[in-house]
Amino acid sequence: MPVIEPSVTKQEIICAETPGEPCGLVVFGASGDLTRRKLLDSLFQLYLRDLLAEQFYFVGCGRKPLSDDDYRDIARQSIVAEGAADEQVAGFIERIHFVSGNYDDPAFYEAIKTRLTELDEKFGVDKCHIFYLAVPPTLYGTITDGLGGAGLARPSTTGKCPQARLVVEKPFGTDLESAIALNDRITRSFNESQIYRIDHYLGKETVQNILMFRFANAIFEPLWNRNYIDHVQTTIAESIGIASRGGYYDQAGALRDMFQNHMLGMLALMAMEPPTSFEADDIRDEKVKLLRSIRPIDLDSWTASIVTGQYAAGTVSGEDACGYIQESSIPRDSTTETFVAARLFIDNWRWQDVPFYLRTGKRLATRLTEIAITFKNVPHSMFASVGLDEMPENVLVLKIQPNEGINLSFQAKRPGSKACMSTLAMNFNYSDVFAAQAPEAYQRLLLDCMVADQTLFMRQDDVEVAWRLLTPVLRKWAEDRTEPYKYPAGAESFSEADALIQADGHFWRKLLQK
């Protein structure tokens, strides 16, 4: 137990971030969009916050024939150095290196091994390596085979780091069978304890706060069940289209791209049972139990269970937007869905018969991610005699993006008439309370990789149970050649999606950023 100085509170000790341990981070696909937009700057921000170990280095790997200096120029352009001193930028950049080669060439991995040996000695890293696959999933097996063949997947345990770590991006498979096959391929070289399947949504502050909110407060947890909660709505709305991702997106669609990982991951955290501890596997055990409890989707009644849409031409934020099939690289007869709404039930003691409505879509009216928990109405209104026989429900909203925070609406008397009542809202915004924007999700996840914390990463059984729920849906769509409904770009919803929730007497929440 640490000795607490008079000027330091116990809470401040708990809140202190644990810096990453000495390591070398090796990123495949280092000249790609993800690395340039997210990873390099996230690492730089960790460096500015003194959360990278002094013994840290970065090795970019890719096909482009770049020198260390060439890649350092790319890295310098990728980081946000506003407010950083020149020596801070220089100190970070000098840790960056590059190795080029072909992913299917064994000599490439031998060259990486040689460079890691040199850099381990230079930076004082004791054989601790993290391999990050920022490449298409079709290359995962090739790269892990190459790392295994070069002896990099399970290095000698004589160092302080007992084993290498492998970070893989979504999508992890395209259905249940492909996910199992991909995992079988990867586990030829890496075991499950080494694998970090990343979902950047789980790195967002408000998503992480679900655990704290539920299990560190006695106010809400007793109400967190079918006796008090009427229904739950989870929304991930995007105002953008597919941008340059057309080739990938048309093969994936909204169900694979958003539902299988982000949406089910948030649902699991929101609805799971209390874990026995804050340890990674205890939390992940409960997530998997929750996902296993989701009732199979009714394949014989689409409109009651799941609805798909595809955006047509319209107007977003006052600007004309083309339809999905007018986007470059998209076939004119594509039936890929850009919107999915689903009505799910969780068959367990806590949630029986509580509907969970999930929706996600591109080219909607605004960008918004939130979880809205609607509580049941009071069983009897004592104010019926003065015309207040029906009152609005209490709603708790966990705001994920763009303005991270929490909102709670409730009824209260207004000044004036004896029966003057209105809905009030208590708003908590991270940026207002903490006078700073929440860190980029990749900062949290990269740091967790460096300290070997797998809490926010998906386990293989987590991936498989999610695919087991959705694969029958994908097969049914393929068999029936189901075409999505059309909705105009800039819409909040459309009639067929509205019918799914209105059948239960509910309505989708407005896509408003508050």
- Nearest residue to 465 via CA among 213, 229, 272, 248: 272
pLDDT at residue 154, rounded to an integer: 76
Q: How far apart are CA 469 and CA 501, in angstroms?
A: 20
Q: How far apart are CA 215 and CA 406, in angstroms?
A: 16
Q: How far apart are CA 328 and CA 173, in angstroms?
A: 25
- pLDDT-derived band of residue 438, with 50, 70 and 90 as boundaries? low
Identify which has the larger pLDDT, 246 or 19: 19
Contact 144, 26 (CB under 8 A): no
Residue 29 backbone zone (phi > 0: left; psi -120 to 50: alpha; other: beta): left
**Which CA distances in Å does 392 have to 377, 395, 435?**
7, 9, 33
pLDDT at residue 13, rounded to an integer: 47
Q: Please, where in the chain does CATH 3.30.360.10 lie?
A: 202-439+461-502
pLDDT at residue 157, rounded to an integer: 56
- Nearest residue to 198 via CA among 456, 481, 468, 511: 456
Contact 47, 92 (CB under 8 A): yes
Residues near 50 by Cβ (< 8 Å), separated by ≥ 6?
A: 19
pLDDT at residue 3, rounded to an integer: 45
Mean pLDDT, the chain, whole residue set = 87
CATH 1.25.40.10 fits 22-169, yes or no: no
- The SS3 call for residue 31 is coil
CATH 3.30.360.10 fits 202-439+461-502, yes or no: yes
Q: Please, where in the chain does CATH 3.40.50.720 lie?
A: 22-169
Residues near 512 by Cβ (< 8 Å), separated by ≥ 6?
A: 366, 368
Average pLDDT of the residues in 380-406: 74
470: Cα within 13 Å, side-chain hemisphere: 27
Altogether, the residues listed in the chain come to a count of: 514
Residue 440 has pLDDT above 90, yes or no: no
Kindly report, residue by residue over 114-126, the tens digit of the pLDDT. Answer: 999 999 999 999 8
Contact 214, 220 (CB under 8 A): yes
Identify which has the larger pLDDT, 10 or 77: 77
- pLDDT-derived band of residue 393, with 50, 70 and 90 as boundaries? confident
Residue 205 has pLDDT above 50, yes or no: yes
The model carries a pTM of 0.88
Q: How far apart are CA 24 and CA 40, in angstroms?
A: 14
Residue for token pair 């914390």: 453
Q: Is 200 a catalytic residue?
A: no
Kindly report, residue by residue over 279-319, the tens digit of the pLDDT. Answer: 889 999 999 999 999 999 988 776 679 999 999 999 998 89
Residue 1 has pLDDT above 70, yes or no: no
Residue for token pair 């705001």: 399
Contact 164, 125 (CB under 8 A): no
**Which CA distances in Å does 482 have to 307, 466, 475, 485?**
10, 21, 10, 10
Identify which has the larger pLDDT, 259 or 417: 259
Residue 497 has pLDDT above 90, yes or no: yes
Catalytic residue among 97, 129, 262, 506: 262
